Amino acid sequence: MSRTSNRTDGDIVRDFLSVADLLEEPQLARLYAYFAREGEATVQEVIDELEFAQGTAYTYVNRLVDAGVLEMTRDEQPRQYAAREIDLTVTAAGGDRKYTITPVLIDAVGRRETNGDIDTYIDRHGVDGLATALTYAVARERGEVTHRLMAQDLEISPLAAELVLQALRPIVQEYYEIEDSGASLDAIDVDDHNT
């Protein structure tokens, strides 16, 4: 669902409203993230994996299909569905920050109900704040920033920065291939004659 200039304004608004539902309802976000990770799945697999009630699972899948962020990939029973790619850039309320809504961000929002640190961070800083924290979480996993630098840049406490970075770490590790930033013995050139 990448934005291009040949899309009409009505399509972009409809797509934005569909994505906004994902960001407002953690269970929908969690369901979308499941399909984004799995590729294709059936509703029964959703029920088994996410422990949704059968009626809830079907209702949510239908809502996501109607919203255009999920598509049916197999019409025969059992039907299979797959997530459509979402890559939507929006400007935060102040106009000074832009952030991109991706499956990674939607997954982070989906974990709000099961992770108190993510929930608290969204309550205090909004989804745009979580998107920014996610950027720092990726940079931290790459060894480029620390929680203290994030805290200083965003004017939050170092503890708040550390908590959200720890909460986002499994998501970052799941979606990004990040090499270990620490030095290994293989990377060190050792002269055996001087040892």
CATH code assigned at 34: 1.10.10.10
Cα distances (angstroms) measured from residue 51 to each of 30, 162, 174: 11, 30, 21
Phi first, then psi: what are they for 146, rounded to 5°? -120, 170
- The model's pLDDT over 58-88, given as tens digits with 9 standing for 90+, comes to 999 999 998 888 999 998 999 999 998 887 7
Question: Across the chain, what does the average pLDDT equal?
Answer: 82
Is residue 27 a part of any domain in this protein? Answer: yes
Is residue 72 a part of any domain in this protein? Answer: yes
- The model's pLDDT over 136-155, given as tens digits with 9 standing for 90+, comes to 999 999 999 999 999 999 99
Judgement on whether residues 79 and 138 belong to the same structural domain of the protein: no
Q: Which residue has 């919203």 as its token pair?
A: 67
pTM: 0.75
Judgement on whether residues 113 and 99 belong to the same structural domain of the protein: yes
Is residue 193 a part of any domain in this protein? Answer: no
pLDDT band for position 13 (cuts 50, 70, 90): low
Nearest CA to 175 out of 110, 120, 121, 124 is that of: 110
Tokens of residue 187, six digits: 């990377």
Residue-number span of the structural domain to which 20 is assigned: 9-83
Domain's final residue, options 41, 56, 83? 83
Is residue 180 a part of any domain in this protein? Answer: no
Q: Which amino acid is at 77?
A: Q
